[in-house]
Structure 1
Amino acid sequence: MLRFMDWSVVAMGCALVLMSLGSRRWERTKVRKRESPDQGMRSFRVWLPLLIGLGVISARMPSLLLAPHLVVMIMDTLNAVLGVAVLILVLRTGYRVSWARSPRTLD
């Protein structure tokens, strides 16, 4: 039963990666039709699911495939780097949103 739950987490990570690729494709189609893409949320909508999906996959896949300890440690390190990248992406997007909504005064 536990192996089924682990594989379902990997499947969820794959779904997040596919959702990210679909979102990127949708943005390209939108730009091709000369519609204005939402530049502020574009990178957030494409990169966040991709990074989270890759993190989920890299966290579970080595142990499910019975990889050596060295491979598991390398994947855990890459997973930590992906976590930092997601944190930077969220903070950067939050800063842009707060900057866009702040009132500006002209003196």
Structure 2
Amino acid sequence: MDWSVVGMGCLLVLLSFGCRWWEQTKIRKGARPRRGMRFYSIWMPLLMGLGMIVAKVPHMAGAPFAIVMAADTLNLVLVVTTALVLAVQVRHRAGSGSSAE
């Protein structure tokens, strides 16, 4: 079960890199960047995937307690970062919706 979580985390990280590459390719061809959806297509999978990887790998590798605690702290930082970026996105969408009227 632990390896499936790590595998899913790796897939999410690869998905975010693929979405970033796809967006850059479309921008080079003349499309406008999607500022609102960038978080959901690039940053959210990246942060979730890194969180899944960091949460499981030290435990599975049998790392010392200090390393496991450092990894758990990094995971908490990733969760807080994701929540803050999501809050900024929600606030930006709410602000842009009211200014359009």
User: Do they superpose with TM above 0.5?
Assistant: yes
CA separation in 2, counterparts of 1:104 and 1:38? 18
| Counterpart residue identity of residue 83, structure 1 | V
| Structure 1 residue 44, shift from structure 2 partner | 3.5
Using structure 1 for the length normalisation, give the TM-score: 0.89
Runs of 5+ consecutive residues of structure 2 not aligned to the other structure:
none
Name the counterpart of 2:15.
19
**Mapped partners of 1:21, 1:32: distance in 2:** 17
Residue 31, structure 1, aligned to residue 50, structure 2: no
Structure 1: tracts of 5 or more residues without a match: none
Question: Which residue number corresponds to residue 102 of structure 1?
Answer: 98
Contact 1:44 1:89 in 2 (8 A): no
CA RMSD of aligned residues (A): 1.2
**Which amino acid in 1 is paired with 2:97?**
R
Q: Secondary structure at the match of 1:39?
A: coil
Q: In terms of Rg, which structure is larger?
A: 1
Taking only the aligned residue pairs, the percentage that are identical comes to 47
Contact 1:58 1:76 in 2 (8 A): yes
1:11-90 alignment runs, 5 A limit: 11-90=7-86
Q: Distance in 2 between matches of 1:84 and 1:56?
A: 14
**TM-score, structure 2 length as denominator?**
0.94
Q: How many residues align?
A: 101
